[in-house]
A and B are shown apart, each in its own frame.
Chain A
């Protein structure tokens, strides 16, 4: 019963921890790996125009929720213009207005994007009205009807219908009928609109979409047209030139539906230029920026909101529970005996600063020297607390001496010896000397080596870059650590060292049996 309670609690903690981690990794996009990087696109639209002296107004369509991208931020350079942002059914737009402006003007819109790995093959949206069959003129009409009839024979649904139609439309050697259909259109956009016109003959809702193909260090890029058809539940995008379904990589959807990209009044000679640049940034800062855009409280109230100095402290502090877990494992499952319950973890923390080899060297050096002095003090028959205090004083002096000596010798690693927890060192020396006297040197050395071994293992487990990263960015994982620790608290199996301890007994029982 008690065990059930414990197991449920552990399960609850595990679930909470893993759910929190999953949410942060999947939704906010915090990377599970340290040093993970992602591409960030910075896309800029520059509007050049000439103002004619009177009031001028510019209505410029900007991307709303581009499929396949997350918006990290956007900004406007408006000069003396007032800026308003608004949206209609299909698009968002920026509205720049000025009471009086004249001469050459430039306005900028800049957006930062990162790829989100979202679905690029369909786009959700409200159901549009079904178009009426247009009243085509002849011979366009018979060519269109023949084409639609043939394509209907070859296809299963609206998506495959559209694809077949696009392939026929773009065929390298068009037949006579197709020539008739194609000759009404000249430009890229006109072709797309022509296709929409033909699709209306089959009563398929379709709309044009303007996309910006992103290329690194692109200047003077321009929009291309795409096609979205409604399949009854969603919009399915197609490249009208190739018949390929879905928005490919690095295609930024800028505008949906008909309508001008830029509508102006009181200006002339306007022209829009697009440029783009790709940079690589750490996933973490991207995730933070994205969470800020989404207004996520989980990031706002996380360790990342602390001052950097405090953050760095928590980077280390959060690893202590991992050390404690190692300690529990080493003591209750392996059965190593150590001085003091958590002393090895504190030593492991010190190893972080000193590096492992130096740490081991310094630790053994100080403990050995301290022991020698402790044995000398034994002759003086001091009371316990003053004796402990004397050992502490000696330890501090030793630390200072080692620092000075190693500095003079040019070994700067030796300076970090000051980071050893000196009170813990003094207690260790005292405990070790007691064990030395009461249980003999082998036992004292055994426990000393045990402590050192646990400290080394603790250090190696605690300060892996990957684990450190995980725990710091996903501190929920500590709940999982807690759950494991709680479960280990009810571990009643054997310790590994008990195999050794009881080996003789096992051997005789083996003998009895045979």
Chain B
């Protein structure tokens, strides 16, 4: 046990207590939390800063507005319902199509309008929000994913999580939904975490339920060596999000849209630690390397380049040829 603990310290993995005390409390001023915890504010600020986000179809703030749902959804076939203050991907409802007043969910199940309304009502009463506060429901554009991850994800939303430390992207991973995670891209709900080489944007190692894997548990396809298109632009986008919220230790969640390229889904003031497992790398070492730098560039593009240069793998994985 003691030996294990010593090895953990030698590996310099970032632990939960240290993350909270040394990074979140030090770098993230509490007053800026609402900027990321409220996805509506994030979305508006991102829009204003010219950062691409999925477009917003409408917001439901009070119970009564649920009655106007049919009007709101008129002419829209597919959409996503989200709590504005949701956490951990909870309370997200993905509708991929509608027919005869029935809505088809991301997992293939059908739902009628009443059930969608009930889901929204649960969101409003704060069922999915942090601390159970009353909430708002956002209805926004459904992202059509880039086919890149089609073969290694089971339904749901594969997204790319980047840790941005003082504006410098330090570590990134792809989160692939599985049957077990019910389409959610949350590692502790059973999604696959795949490390990304910061230099090339290629997938490296993967972890699922705390075990290291090479192939997707549902599809059996190899995971290593997938190249994310437009990687440099994506890293820069993540870096630009630093300005949106002024949080020193920030998690940026992006998705790759087939047409619009990388879109910012949400920001996270308390990004988790599993990214270390996916990358098989210590986050703490990288954070300390950034701390050791005397000055950080103001320009997001330069910061992105810095992050790519600092944390590029010496021998990136070979690109999969399919």
Contacts and interface: CB of A to CB of B under 8 A. Distances in A.
A439 B128 CA distance: 12
A492 B15 contact: yes
Given A439-B189, A492-B22, A504 B211 contact: yes
Interface in B21-71: 21-22, 63
A357 interface: no
B280 A490 contact: no
A494 B8 contact: yes
Interface residues of B, number: 36
Nearest to B123: A384
A493 interface: yes
A502 interface: yes
Nearest to B8: A494
B237 interface: no
Contacts of A495: 15-17
B7 interface: yes
- Name A's interface SS: helix
A502 B16 contact: no
Contact of A504 (B90, B126, B189, B210): B210
A504 B8 CA distance: 11
A505 B4 contact: no
Interface stretch (A127-135, A296-304, A404-412, A506-514): A506-514
Contacts of A332: 17
Contacts of A501: 210, 273, 277
Contact of B280 (A335, A383, A489, A508): A508
Nearest to B205: A508
Contact of B13 (A383, A492, A502): A502
A384 B8 contact: no
Contact of B277 (A434, A492, A504): A504
8 contacts: A335-B16, A381-B115, A381-B118, A494-B9, A498-B13, A499-B8, A502-B11, A502-B276
Given A492-B22, A505-B277, A498 B4 contact: no
A37 B143 CA distance: 77
B15 A498 contact: yes
Given A501-B210, A504-B212, A508-B212, A384 B5 contact: no
Given A502-B8, A509-B11, A493 B18 contact: yes
Given A384-B125, A505-B280, A506-B4, A494 B189 contact: no
B239 interface: no
A76 interface: no
A385 B11 contact: no
Interface in A427-480: 434, 438-440
A495 B15 CA distance: 7
A136 interface: no
Contacts of A493: 15, 17-18
Interface of A: 332, 335, 381, 383-385, 434, 438-440, 489-495, 498-506, 508-510
A438 B21 CA distance: 29
Given A332-B17, A493-B18, A384 B277 contact: no
B17 to A, nearest CB: 5
Smallest CB-CB A-B distances: 7 pairs: A384-B125, A492-B18, A494-B15, A381-B118, A492-B21, A492-B17, A504-B212
Interface in B175-215: 188-190, 207, 210-212
Count chain B CB atoms within 10 A of each CB in A492, A493, A500 and give the residue with the most.
A492
B122 A384 contact: yes
A510 B122 contact: no
B121 interface: yes
A274 to B, nearest CB: 66
B127 interface: yes
B22 A494 contact: no
A164 B114 CA distance: 108
A329 to B, nearest CB: 12
A82 B4 CA distance: 82
Interface in B203-250: 207, 210-212
B90 A438 contact: yes
Contacts of A508: 212, 280
B118 to A, nearest CB: 4
A508 B280 CA distance: 8
Given A492-B17, A505-B276, A508-B280, A498 B8 contact: yes
Given A492-B18, A494-B9, A504-B212, 6 more contacts: A383-B63, A493-B17, A495-B16, A499-B1, A501-B273, A504-B277
A150 B121 CA distance: 108
Nearest to A385: B125
Contacts of B11: 502, 505-506, 509
A493 B276 CA distance: 16
A266 B90 CA distance: 100
Contact of A383 (B5, B125, B207, B276): B125
A433 to B, nearest CB: 10
A509 to B, nearest CB: 6
A179 B207 CA distance: 104
Nearest to B122: A384
